[in-house]
A = this chain, B = another copy of it.
Amino acid sequence: MNLQDVAKKARVSIATVSRVLNNAGPVKNSTRARVLKIVEELKYHPNLYARTLAGGKSRTLGVIVSNLENPFFLDIFRAIESDAHQHGYEVLVANTDYCARQLVSDVHLMMGRRVTGLAAIVSEMEPALMKELSEANLPVVFYDVGTAGRNISNIKVNYPKGIQKTVEYLHSLGHRRMGFVGHHTELDPLLDRKKSFIEAMKRCSGHVEYGTAADRDGPAGGQQATRQLLETGLRPTAIIAVNDFMALGVLRELRENNLRVPQDVSVTGYDNIRLSEFAVPPLTTVNIPRAEIGHLAFNALVPEGDDVHAQGREFRITPELVIRESTAPPRSST
């Protein structure tokens, strides 16, 4: 079923049908009506492949994220998708599982799809890919990795600042033994988070001890990492998780060890995902405005977006501490 079929049945040329379907060019009202009726009857749907091939523009955005299962990424994706649909764009998603090789292959797939713009919300990167993208003729926006350039926008959250605020807050409550739970510490951005923690600890006045552990992203990983942390013998009075999703697992492992939160151990997350409010107890965390990031990303890719001058720019976001019930002064100082 194609334009031809519709044209024949409507006794017009395919050019006319095309005009009707695209509201382009002048068409007599009666003709338009007739065509539309046939389209309806035949349940004709245009072939977007042919359309894109002929038209040149795909009106498709590519979004690549590290872990779609983590609500943090899902939220950003959904924000982009929502903006996109509102502006008549489609969105292709891909998941890398924090694997740079996967990222490269995903990017190439998207380029094959001739995406109009590419958002890479990822923590992993490949220098060669960075170079290729910077030379490509395609609006790109990164979150967490890369640097801004001609066609490349960049959104970065000041993670160290958030971690610092968290550590200072816990220290001010009286915590002197803290643990850090992370994941994928072989990746620069995640390694930086861990380093920020260590530096913040070192800047603390007085005697402080700390330990770190890592496992995969997610509640199960958070639980596993916490187990490691507890086994070291360091008896942390506070545990800082690199994100809320992992913090969920921290909470569970603590509970299984009959450690109460926050009475025995304080816990903090990062991201402020919706779920963090539904944790038990509700998580003290650091807010990252995911919807805003999604909008920024969209505007950076689509010039028609609200902000015309968004392309090739660098955005910095300063996160804010959100204090809820998972933190408190330590029970007894030892």
Complex Cα distance, B69 from A71, in Å, reads 8
| Known A49-B52, A53-B53, A108-B45; contact A278-B248, beta-carbon cutoff 8 A | yes
Residue of B nearest to A111 (CB): B45
A189 to chain B, nearest CB (A): 24
A285 to chain B, nearest CB (A): 16
| Known A50-B53, A53-B47, A68-B74; contact A90-B114, beta-carbon cutoff 8 A | no
A244 to chain B, nearest CB (A): 12
Complex Cα distance, B278 from A108, in Å, reads 37
Complex Cα distance, B95 from A197, in Å, reads 38
Say whether A49 contacts B45, CB under 8 Å. Answer: no
Residue of B nearest to A218 (CB): B274
A63 to chain B, nearest CB (A): 11
A265 to chain B, nearest CB (A): 15
Complex Cα distance, B88 from A3, in Å, reads 30
**Number of A positions contacting B (CB below 8 A):** 42
A112: chain B residues within 8 A (beta carbon): 45-48
Q: Does chain B have a CB within 8 A of A27?
A: no
Residue of B nearest to A279 (CB): B280
Q: Does chain B have a CB within 8 A of A330?
A: no
A76 to chain B, nearest CB (A): 13
Say whether B109 contacts A274, CB under 8 Å. Answer: no
- Interface residues in A259-286 by Cβ distance below 8 A to B read 274-275, 277-280
- The interface-forming segment of A5-13, A169-177, A228-236, A249-257 is A249-257
Q: Does chain B have a CB within 8 A of A317?
A: no
Say whether A219 contacts B78, CB under 8 Å. Answer: no
Q: Does chain B have a CB within 8 A of A92?
A: yes
Complex Cα distance, B275 from A53, in Å, reads 44
- Interface bits A107-143 vs B (CB < 8 Å: 1, else 0): 0110111100000000000000000100000000000
Complex Cα distance, B74 from A92, in Å, reads 15
- Interface bits A202-219 vs B (CB < 8 Å: 1, else 0): 000000000000000011
| Known A278-B249, A280-B251, A280-B280; contact A74-B69, beta-carbon cutoff 8 A | yes
Say whether B252 contacts A219, CB under 8 Å. Answer: no
Tell which of A46, A81, A274, A280 has the most Cβ of chain B within 10 Å.
A280
Per a CB cutoff under 8 Å, which of B68, B108, B219 touches A274? B219
- Interface bits A40-65 vs B (CB < 8 Å: 1, else 0): 00010111111011000010000000
Residue of B nearest to A105 (CB): B85
27 chain-A/chain-B pairs, Cβ below 8 angstroms: A43-B132, A45-B108, A45-B111, A45-B112, A47-B53, A47-B112, A48-B49, A48-B112, A49-B49, A49-B52, A49-B113, A50-B53, A68-B78, A69-B71, A69-B74, A74-B74, A78-B95, A81-B95, A90-B92, A219-B275, A219-B277, A219-B278, A220-B274, A251-B278, A252-B278, A275-B275, A280-B280
